[in-house]
Chain A
């Protein structure tokens, strides 16, 4: 599950050490925007050491490296690999300003070299792409089908600026962007994760936006503040009636298999593979927190 992927500033040891206590589905150790230029090296070392030596419970662990248009990204990859040599759960790279399949090929090449150097299995590192320009959004499907890509996320402020607009309260300017990226991601078979909601104390606005992107089909959202996590989890938690219906779909399917029947109906509607897939997805979400250690 990737309902909540929380950014942790790479220069904040307190949050780096304890962010997982808020129980997001994933952590993003950020070396990019939250770290001032004069602290890049210090943050990289800090993240490497903390990620190497600490247990983060159930969280999926990724590192947002600096963009490939900067001088930092190769050093960032090296630090991630060094941490991954100790902490086997580190396997995600979040790439900002992912622009093109060519860029992803270059990253793939660099990661392959790093994996070879550390003796990791080839392809161990997976990539989450942040699409932060109109051109990147336009090439979303090609990026999503590039090697190692496992998730797409639309940009926020940078993307709005590239569209020659600004972020409005209802984010109407991102409406079609979200839909395009969602279709591209689904077509490529990767996860699609929404951008963070920037107004960290506006929990009602967050709830409304989360309900909207969940209905669109997004798998989750990036998180900027721990207070956002419970709201997003609540929205992604299926209702009692959804759980009840999903259980009946699965039971009907199992019964049909047992009896050798080809098709089965629930509440007068035929249950096909798509309905079963949806039911399993909802039950997996419902398990959510319950299944955690």
Chain B
């Protein structure tokens, strides 16, 4: 049974249908009433958002340990705690804080991270013991399998980076205590990600949490005796500072250098994607784009550099997760600015710490749909990946082929919605598993904001973009392939996948960036 055909967890009368054709329960236990997705920008903001809690601070912010900070913060069972993921798979902070909560008997917490990684597998035990009751944020690995099997009492809520900051600022998702891993800090709570043994560069995802949490606790392994300035997060937001022996493993935090794929098929996909961009009207002076840090996107960046040099194009800005390849474009004058919400490698961190043209931005600035204008709205081009994409160009990045929760939304929805040209660049198969399917298991990003699919077989244009189709027709070395042909090819190569067995119970809710519910993920198994 595909997700499209799946029943509601309650009677049909209690369901609504989101605009990609997904049945959404009107009420989900542990989540509440739902607002079904009706379109990219149909849910409008009204009124005012959440203000900052007023507080008065003395001089003594430095505390001896995490448990002191938990006590000082007033954290109690049932509250919401947030984390940011700039330390990626090297992060030690999430596990350390949850271990301390468990020791202090704090239970029933809502965990509100910007993302979780394999390193956070110990959370499985904290969930089983009741320390964590709910997660609002991405999950993967063992945690994803556990939750997909129905081991969590309430559904996970998946939001994009922009949707998460919107939910915080609008008051939909208040944070009681924000824990900020700070690679460098001073005693009064000025925080920087650019220096120290655990340097990660931008702290962009933590900005919104710092501004709007009722209490902010910084954890650092590089406490400086002098004032840290400039600071990513200034002292006016930081309530307490805790020094730890280490906040992360540098090997898991950043790559020494990110590298373009050497797989010829992935390079072919990247070359086709770059050719589409070069052929489109976006490819002009003032171009702005986001490509990310995967093997294919890095190769796209590299091919775009070649094209920009060949055609004499100077771009405006590069956005999102920044790599050394973007830094090269900045240094060579092919881009004027980098807007960095996450720094992926050593070159990006060095550039952010030294170049005034390399600017750290918050998730709010990056992608929030309910502010006066996020950076994604100015994007000309974004190149994204997919776990699955279907006939209607709906994209799934949340679940694996076996239906397990795989990872979060990241900026996928935000950039796809904001960019003038949204390209999904993805091999037709992952191993023996087709990426092209009749209907995705879970809709992360609706097809109405996806313009082009690029595979090793060529370029497939969404029928809603007839102008683009005309532009790429007849372009040398850029084969056009129809969606029907691609789906047939995928089926021919891999055969038909057995339908997933799933129950009615909802284990995760996928929100569109405006807070409406785009889709739900159901418990696996009989």
Chain A positions near chain B (C-beta within 8 angstroms):
14, 17-18, 21-23, 225-227, 289-290
Q: Which of B268, B476, B493 contacts A21 (CB 8 A)?
A: B268
Determine if A22 and B264 form an interchain contact, defined as CB atoms under 8 angstroms apart. Answer: yes
Determine if A21 and B456 form an interchain contact, defined as CB atoms under 8 angstroms apart. Answer: yes
Determine if B264 and A225 form an interchain contact, defined as CB atoms under 8 angstroms apart. Answer: yes
B127 beta carbon closer than 8 Å to chain A: no
Determine if A22 and B476 form an interchain contact, defined as CB atoms under 8 angstroms apart. Answer: no
Q: How far is the CB of B484 from chain A (nearest CB, A)?
A: 16
Determine if B477 and A226 form an interchain contact, defined as CB atoms under 8 angstroms apart. Answer: no
Q: How far is the CB of B282 from chain A (nearest CB, A)?
A: 24
Determine if A21 and B477 form an interchain contact, defined as CB atoms under 8 angstroms apart. Answer: no
B435 beta carbon closer than 8 Å to chain A: no
Determine if B265 and A18 form an interchain contact, defined as CB atoms under 8 angstroms apart. Answer: yes
Measured in the bound complex, the distance between the Cα atoms of B268 and A21 in whole Å is 9
Which A residues lie within 8 Å of B476 (CB)?
289-290
8 A Cβ contacts from B450-492 to A: 456-457, 476-477
Determine if B477 and A227 form an interchain contact, defined as CB atoms under 8 angstroms apart. Answer: no
B521 beta carbon closer than 8 Å to chain A: no
Measured in the bound complex, the distance between the Cα atoms of B493 and A225 in whole Å is 23
Determine if A289 and B264 form an interchain contact, defined as CB atoms under 8 angstroms apart. Answer: no
Determine if B456 and A18 form an interchain contact, defined as CB atoms under 8 angstroms apart. Answer: yes
Which B residues lie within 8 Å of A289 (CB)?
476-477
Nearest chain-B residue to A225 (Cβ)? B264
Measured in the bound complex, the distance between the Cα atoms of B456 and A290 in whole Å is 19
With contacts A289-B476, A290-B476 taken as known, whether A17 is within 8 angstroms of B265 at the C-beta atoms is no
Determine if B267 and A21 form an interchain contact, defined as CB atoms under 8 angstroms apart. Answer: no
Which A residues lie within 8 Å of B493 (CB)?
17
Measured in the bound complex, the distance between the Cα atoms of B265 and A18 in whole Å is 8
Measured in the bound complex, the distance between the Cα atoms of B262 and A227 in whole Å is 10
The A/B interface has a contact count, at CB < 8 Å, of 20
12 A-B pairs besides A289-B476, A289-B477 with CB distance below 8 A are A14-B265, A18-B265, A18-B456, A21-B265, A21-B457, A22-B264, A22-B268, A23-B477, A225-B264, A227-B264, A227-B267, A290-B476
20 interchain pairs, CB-CB under 8 A: A14-B265, A17-B493, A18-B265, A18-B456, A21-B265, A21-B268, A21-B456, A21-B457, A22-B264, A22-B268, A23-B477, A225-B264, A226-B264, A226-B267, A226-B268, A227-B264, A227-B267, A289-B476, A289-B477, A290-B476
Which B residues lie within 8 Å of A225 (CB)?
264
Measured in the bound complex, the distance between the Cα atoms of B71 and A66 in whole Å is 76
Which B residues lie within 8 Å of A14 (CB)?
265
Which A residues lie within 8 Å of B265 (CB)?
14, 18, 21
Which A residues lie within 8 Å of B267 (CB)?
226-227
Measured in the bound complex, the distance between the Cα atoms of B477 and A290 in whole Å is 9
**Which residue, B264, B265, B457, B476, has most C-beta atoms of chain A within 10 A?**
B264
Measured in the bound complex, the distance between the Cα atoms of B265 and A225 in whole Å is 11
Nearest chain-A residue to B431 (Cβ)? A14
Measured in the bound complex, the distance between the Cα atoms of B268 and A18 in whole Å is 11
Measured in the bound complex, the distance between the Cα atoms of B474 and A289 in whole Å is 12
Q: How far is the CB of A131 from chain B (nearest CB, A)?
A: 29
Interface string of B430-455 (1 = CB under 8 A from A): 00000000000000000000000000
**Which residue, A21, A289, A290, has most C-beta atoms of chain B within 10 A?**
A21
Which A residues lie within 8 Å of B477 (CB)?
23, 289
Which B residues lie within 8 Å of A22 (CB)?
264, 268
Nearest chain-B residue to A201 (Cβ)? B262
Q: How far is the CB of B67 from chain A (nearest CB, A)?
A: 53
Q: How far is the CB of A50 from chain B (nearest CB, A)?
A: 11
Measured in the bound complex, the distance between the Cα atoms of B264 and A225 in whole Å is 8
Q: How far is the CB of B126 from chain A (nearest CB, A)?
A: 41
Measured in the bound complex, the distance between the Cα atoms of B456 and A21 in whole Å is 7
Q: How far is the CB of B474 from chain A (nearest CB, A)?
A: 10
Measured in the bound complex, the distance between the Cα atoms of B108 and A288 in whole Å is 68
Q: How far is the CB of B365 from chain A (nearest CB, A)?
A: 39
Measured in the bound complex, the distance between the Cα atoms of B479 and A22 in whole Å is 11
Which A residues lie within 8 Å of B264 (CB)?
22, 225-227
Give the 4 A-B residue pairs with the shortest CB-CB distance, closest first.
Answer: A226-B264, A21-B456, A18-B265, A18-B456
Interface string of B172-205 (1 = CB under 8 A from A): 0000000000000000000000000000000000
Which B residues lie within 8 Å of A290 (CB)?
476
Which B residues lie within 8 Å of A226 (CB)?
264, 267-268
Q: How far is the CB of A29 from chain B (nearest CB, A)?
A: 17
Nearest chain-A residue to B477 (Cβ)? A289
Measured in the bound complex, the distance between the Cα atoms of B457 and A14 in whole Å is 13
Q: How far is the CB of A199 from chain B (nearest CB, A)?
A: 15
Measured in the bound complex, the distance between the Cα atoms of B267 and A14 in whole Å is 15
Q: How far is the CB of B455 from chain A (nearest CB, A)?
A: 9
Interface string of B243-272 (1 = CB under 8 A from A): 000000000000000000000110110000
Which B residues lie within 8 Å of A21 (CB)?
265, 268, 456-457
Measured in the bound complex, the distance between the Cα atoms of B474 and A290 in whole Å is 9
Measured in the bound complex, the distance between the Cα atoms of B475 and A289 in whole Å is 11
Measured in the bound complex, the distance between the Cα atoms of B477 and A21 in whole Å is 11
Which B residues lie within 8 Å of A227 (CB)?
264, 267
Measured in the bound complex, the distance between the Cα atoms of B265 and A289 in whole Å is 19
Which A residues lie within 8 Å of B268 (CB)?
21-22, 226
Measured in the bound complex, the distance between the Cα atoms of B493 and A76 in whole Å is 25
Nearest chain-A residue to B432 (Cβ)? A13
Measured in the bound complex, the distance between the Cα atoms of B456 and A22 in whole Å is 9
Interface string of B263-287 (1 = CB under 8 A from A): 0110110000000000000000000
Measured in the bound complex, the distance between the Cα atoms of B476 and A213 in whole Å is 26
Measured in the bound complex, the distance between the Cα atoms of B263 and A14 in whole Å is 11
Measured in the bound complex, the distance between the Cα atoms of B476 and A222 in whole Å is 23
